Structure 1
Amino acid sequence: MSEISVKLKEVLFRFHSAVKSSKILHGPIPKMIAASKTKPVEDIIEAYKCGQRDFGENYIKELLEKAFNQTILNDCKEIKWHFIGHLQKNKVNKLISVPNLYMIQTIHSQALASQVNNALSKLSTKMSGDNKLKILIQVNTSGEQEKNGLDPDKVSPLVKFIMAECLNLQFKGLMTIGMLDASQHGHTIDNPNPDFLTLIKCREDVSRECGLKIEDMELSMGMSQDFEHAIEMGATYVRIGTIIFGERNYSLMVNES
């Protein structure tokens, strides 16, 4: 067995154990995104062979190179790409050209939502029903100025805007990248991560203010350090990279400029 297959098996065991023990199951069944930033195509293919289907990328140029790789196109036909990095408006057209783009998890403004929606309108394939591009709204739950995302009290107006004006987008829920210190603190259900609590509260507010069912909204929160606690708190997506693929080598990262 390869090193990645061994690590993935170990992570999946922990993942499924956390799902079974979770007492908070308000939303969809949790899913794991393999965060493959800076990792080579060979690692993605190996994880795919082991059954992993959802992969997350942070950078447009890197995602394009991987998604258009001929081996991935030929042998990984069920792959689902999640964009989980900061999306600049001048990169929108490139992003929506990605084959098997499943979800953008980092929508954070009306302007960005409109640009993605308008770009999709220009495609020859009409977006409707399940063909709409799934999106999550990124929420700044920690209040850190350097973090992207909306303040929690500004999320519901954006949801209403997307539902009314962005007919090519399907709002699916909320995402956060919490404070690093909090993710490393070893939180438990009795001492929960405050970023997770804020995202949960935000989902409740959106449900009430936008007339949506809580169980229909995803929560993307938790990474390698704290994914089990995130599942315990009700996460429906966790983004796991390092403990599957090993430490990232940023010297190999594709230049985004």
Structure 2
Amino acid sequence: MSSREQQVDVMFGVKSVLSQIEAAVARRSKNLPQVTPRLVAVSKIKPAPLIVEAYEAGIRDFGENYVNELVEKANDPLILEKCKDIKWHFIGHLQTNKINKLLGAPKLHMIQTVHSEKLADNLNKQWPKYRSSDEKLPVMVQINTSAEEAKNGIEPSEATKVAEHVLKKCPNLDFKGLMTIGIYDYDTSKGPNPDFLTLAKCRREVCDNLNLDINDVELSMGMSTDYQHAIELGATTVRVGSAVAKRFSSHPVRRSSKGNCYDSAK
């Protein structure tokens, strides 16, 4: 497959997802914050040339699950040259010993997976070493809405406590909202996804308890199989990998033994 044919595939994939996002917005309740959803393209295991093509197709926000992979791509000469306005989102589990490596990555835009006050404190302490004192690090607090032991994140009941800690005790961090992964392959014929409803409820409680404007508190939820449903329930950020990557026919999406696409934060 030629480079030109690949580019057409990427552009078509991006346009298809953006079109479906627009349609989902139209179905969203008018009672929800009318925030235009941000598309974060999950670029895990994707090579630099495909990231450049997605960037040239209009994508600016890219998500990575692993610190080493994000840092490698953020420093890739091709990406540095071609993607001047790229924004990297970290969407995986962040270990304390990897904080400095991650914070030193060029164009790091947001960490969506703050799962404890301790992690927030460490990020707050280290961030000034890498950016100017007036530039805060955008973060989201990760909520384990599905109560699965294999997933990271705080319990929904702790949302206000941890959000308040970030807001009041971490002056170098910029609290942007809440994030969840949720259960995989939820059957929407059973009704609205309970994980998305739980995250939306957490946002209401955080806003009520801390006197925040709900329009300023984001919800990062929804992936390739359910991002449209997530938007209908109030998502302001969706993390989509395989819905775009499946267009990259020369770079098939790697799947687990259970058939789940690796396009999510695990």
Normalising by structure 2, we get a TM-score of 0.88
Deviations 1:92-136 (A, max 9, x none): 00111111111000001011001111111333621x2xx211000
Deviation of 1:58 (Å): 0.3
**d(CA) in 1 for partners of 2:162 and 2:221?**
20
Q: Tell me the SS of whatever aligns to 2:188.
A: coil
Residue 19 of structure 1 corresponds to 25
Deviation of 1:181 (Å): 3.7
Deviation of 1:161 (Å): 1.1
| Paired residues, number | 245
Which consecutive residues of structure 1, in runs of 5 or more, have no partner in the other structure? none
Question: Do structure 1's residue 248 and structure 2's residue 253 form an aligned pair?
Answer: yes
Deviation of 1:219 (Å): 0.2
Deviations 1:196-254 (A, max 9, x none): 01000000110111111111100000000011110111100000000111353379x9x
Structure 2 residue identity aligned to 1:222: G
Q: Trace 1:90-109 onto structure 2 (pairs within 5 A).
A: 90-109=97-116
Deviations 1:32-58 (A, max 9, x none): 110111111111000000011010000
Runs of 4 or more off by more than 4 Å in structure 1?
none
**d(CA) in 2 for partners of 1:193 and 1:161?**
28
Which has the bigger relative contact order, CA under 8 A and spacing at least 6?
A: 1
- Contact 1:187/1:193 (8 A) holds in 2: no
Q: Trace 1:74-223 onto structure 2 (pairs within 5 A).
A: 74-123=81-130, 125-126=132-133, 128=134, 131-182=135-186, 185-187=187-189, 191-223=191-223
Structure 2 residue identity aligned to 1:112: L
**d(CA) in 2 for partners of 1:241 and 1:158?**
29
Which consecutive residues of structure 2, in runs of 5 or more, have no partner in the other structure? 247-251, 257-261
Deviation of 1:195 (Å): 0.3
Question: Do structure 1's residue 231 and structure 2's residue 231 form an aligned pair?
Answer: yes
- Contact 1:33/1:54 (8 A) holds in 2: yes
State percent identity of aligned pairs. Answer: 48
Residue 259 of structure 2 corresponds to none
Deviation of 1:28 (Å): 2.8
Q: Tell me the SS of whatever aligns to 1:199.
A: helix
Residue 56 of structure 2 corresponds to 49
**d(CA) in 1 for partners of 2:138 and 2:71?**
18
Normalising by structure 1, we get a TM-score of 0.91
Q: Tell me the SS of whatever aligns to 1:116.
A: helix
The change in CA–CA distance for 1:116 and 1:105 in structure 2 (over 3 A counts) is same
Q: Tell me the SS of whatever aligns to 1:98.
A: coil
**d(CA) in 1 for partners of 2:188 and 2:253?**
23
**d(CA) in 1 for partners of 2:127 and 2:147?**
32
**d(CA) in 2 for partners of 1:171 and 1:187?**
34
- Contact 1:56/1:84 (8 A) holds in 2: yes
**d(CA) in 1 for partners of 2:163 and 2:23?**
33
